[in-house]
Amino acid sequence: MSENSSPENARILIIEDDIELADLIATYLSNKQFTVDVINEGISAVDRIVNEQPDLVILDLMLPGKDGISICREARYSYLGAILILTASEDDIDQILGLEIGADDFVQKPVEPRVLLARVRALLRRFEQVKSLQSQQSSKAEVLKFGQLSINLSARTVKLANVNIELTSPEFDVLTELAKDAGTTLSRDELFKRLKNLNYDGQNRFIDITISQIRKKLGEDAELYLKTVRGQGYLFVVND
């Protein structure tokens, strides 16, 4: 977003082949003061995302020409904004794959406009906070260190035994929230509120899937840092 922009007038690109649904979402978001563009196929999607750099992309998974997963994977290297995927599937595999290649959140179809609006605003606020943090960073970055694991909050990088661990934006945010409260068990509800400014509905798998992906990337050392506390949530273990 530009200096004079806000979550209420951010630029949003909708990529959805269901013309009726795309128009419904576009009208609803336009009425909330967003600037909205729509495309109904996948072929031109990557070029539009990369060249226009909208503040947020709403991306359907099933598209003619090129699917949403391929679009997300290709655009993520050059696109700096948020990607919210629309999925008709309840299968965790779609969400896991999406998170692995750089999606920031999911909304399941049929789309409830108020839920979509809340997710859009939460993502825009989060990305604006990241930009603000990066612009304010000093020459000495703030780093959280736990044994061989270090988290650079300003650069948004993670190293384990001096090896870079490539985390997506959601993975970095979840790990950081847990690390900031190392030694304290955080519930899914608390993590969800912190990351999305929304109440946890008891069914959303975002936190569980994201932590599962973090564990895979940390490999054998994952259990040294991340613990599941049955019935309570997740714990970042202090290792000096």
DSSP assignments along 192-230, one per residue: HHHHHSS---S---HHHHHHHHHHHHHGGGHHHHEEEET
Residue 166: inside a domain, yes or no?
A: yes
Which pLDDT band, with edges at 50, 70 and 90, does 93 fall under? low
| Judgement on whether residues 123 and 152 belong to the same structural domain of the protein | no
Instruction: State which of 117, 135, 153 marks the end of a domain.
Output: 135
Asked if residue 95 lies in contact with residue 205, where contact means CB atoms within 8 angstroms, the answer is yes
158: β partners: 151, 165
Kindly state whether residues 70 and 105 are assigned to the same domain: yes
> Same structural domain for residues 178 and 213?
yes
From 74, 104, 135, give the residue that closes a domain.
Answer: 135
**Is residue 45 located within the same domain as residue 129?**
yes
CA-wise closest residue to 206 among 87, 112, 111: 87
Task: Find the domain containing 34 and state its range.
Answer: 7-135
At 227, which CATH number?
1.10.10.10
- Cα angle 51, 129, 159 (rounded to 5 degrees) comes to 90
118 shares a domain with 35 = yes
Residue 107 has pLDDT above 70, yes or no: yes
- Of 50-64, 76-90, 122-136, 221-235, least confident by mean pLDDT is 122-136
pLDDT at 104: 87
CB 157 within 8 A of CB 217: no
In this structure, the answer to whether residues 150 and 179 fall within a common structural domain is: yes
Q: Are residues 112 and 208 in the same domain?
A: no
**Is residue 1 included in any domain, yes or no?**
no
Q: Is residue 58 part of a domain?
A: yes
User: Which of 100, 135, 170 is the last residue in one of the domains?
Assistant: 135
Global pTM exceeds 0.85: no
User: Both 98 and 24 in a single domain?
Assistant: yes
Is residue 39 domain-shared with residue 112, that is, in the same domain? yes
Whether residue 165 sits in one domain with residue 50: no
Q: How many domains does the chain have?
A: 2
CA atoms within 13 Å, Cβ hemisphere of 144: 20
In this structure, the number of other CB atoms found within 10 A of the CB of residue 106 comes to 20
Domain shared by 122 and 142, yes or no: no
pLDDT of residue 9: 78
3-state DSSP helix/strand/coil percent for the chain, to nearest 5? 45, 20, 35
188 vs 96: which has the higher pLDDT? 188
CATH number at residue 31: 3.40.50.2300
Mean of the per-residue pLDDT values of the chain? 85
pLDDT at position 91 over 70 = no
| 185 assigned to some structural domain | yes
Residues 123 and 29 in one domain: yes
